[in-house]
Amino acid sequence: MKYSSLILSSLLAITSIEAASLPVINVTGNAFFNSETGERFYIRGVDYQPGGSSELEDPLADYDVCSRDIPIFKDLGLNTIRVYSVDNSQDHSECMNLLAENDIYLILDVNTPDASISRSDPGCSYNADYLQNIFATMDEFSNYTNTLGYFAGNEVINDEGTLFTAPYVKAVVRDMKKYQSARNQRSIPVGYSAADVASLRLELAEYLNCGNDSEARIDMLGVNDYSWCGDSSFTVSGYKEKVELYADFNIPIFLSEFGCNEVVSSRPFTEIKSIYSTSMSGVFSGGLVYEYSEEGSNYGLVNISSDGTTITKLQDYYNLQSEYNSTSDPSGDGGYSTSYTYSDCPTDWNFTITVPDTPSDAETYFKNGAGEGTGFDADTEQACDDDAYYISTTGVSSTTKTKTSSKSSASSASSALSSGSSASSSYVASSTTSASSSSSAGGAALTSYGLTSLFAMIAAGFFM
């Protein structure tokens, strides 16, 4: 009987590690909604990547890290975090379940510094190895009900000269949505996080939202916007102009980075009252503050001690907490709309807007799955132009932002960029585990049929 007892105790342990569950957040028209209550969902979040781009780590693969920070998220009043890069060779079940237990959702960028779309050579960097990494990440995170959405890219297009990379962003969006369908995964929204470049705001958003191929259209749009500085206003900041600009879009739009630090030593976050007001709720669905931890650029809400054990809340933290506590979401549906049509594709770009075909070597992943992820070791741009630069992890489109790093082979390009007019982050790929290993995302991958069969075998004395 010792074998049956051992197996029975193991099975009981497995079944007791049930995944914490949150209601799925769905897209209806240009807004997010709670699938169980039917209530409008507004993102109240923070950008979360301790260590930044210089000391890249996966905060969702280290329970000591996420269990240290999640109570602080809860205290701050957050319901969403954005993570810019994960190690898809690691397990994320403990942290994802802890987030769910605290009613917190995840928006995940599916890229790593060395597995991304190159601004200078997108055709080379868009390859089968790159897609394998993305798909492996999706295999891991698709099983969590608190995975709210994916970003297929972050500020890949950061000026007029990089606009020609946009068709490759659409290709990644298409491939991610196709993979979800082919692998019978939950249809998690796939979007893009855009740099706030005045000359490109509208045309890029329209391009990403245009065309007859529904798979190649984004499901949501994040805007990295630092225009509200200090104690500004809805009109002076330019927020009013952007509400009008995006008024005809039929997808959810939100601020994927906000929190200008140009004016005062501590940010008052007075924009919160506008973001969560009916002045914006007809178009915008909340936002994510940049950023959780101080990384030397004065954008942090907290300081993390060098040994990682102590969190010191900064004045920005208390200012933001006060604003959140005193600002409620708009009542009812917030004036959302379902009446909008898709955008027209541009006709005057001096390069092809045709979305490139999926690399032929990647077609097998739709049928057989992606397999295991290779984490931060993935380097899918090795064969590309040595002079290409790849901007990694967190980024701010503000001209004063200097916290951007690149892969080592392009440090000079990154230095020039970070001291120039736009410090952006472009990374469009990464991944996580295979479909089989991602089953740990529920705490247990065993189906009810499998558990029933095993218990029946024990009862019949099969293991005696």
Active site residues: 155, 257
Residue where the block lists tokens 């074998």: 3
Going by DSSP bridges, is the β-strand pair 253-258/284-289 parallel, antiparallel, or unpaired? parallel
Q: Are 157 and 170 in contact (CB under 8 A)?
A: no
Cβ-in-10-Å burial (0-12, 13-18, 19+) of 76 comes to: buried
* Nearest residue to 253 via CA among 264, 261, 262, 242: 242
* Nearest residue to 115 via CA among 96, 91, 137: 137
Q: Are 146 and 104 in contact (CB under 8 A)?
A: yes
For the sheet with 25-28, list strands across it: 25-28, 31-34, 40-41
d(CA 448, CA 428): 36
- State how far Cα 143 lies from the chain centre: 16
- State how far Cα 349 lies from the chain centre: 29
d(CA 338, CA 362): 35
Residue where the block lists tokens 């039929």: 250
Going by DSSP bridges, is the β-strand pair 105-109/147-154 parallel, antiparallel, or unpaired? parallel
Token pair for residue 231?
């104690």
Q: Are 259 and 290 in contact (CB under 8 A)?
A: yes
- Looking at residue 154, its amino acid is N
DSSP letter at 423?
-
Complete DSSP assignment for 255-296: EEEE-B-SSSSS---TTHHHHTSTTTTTTEEEEEES-SB--S
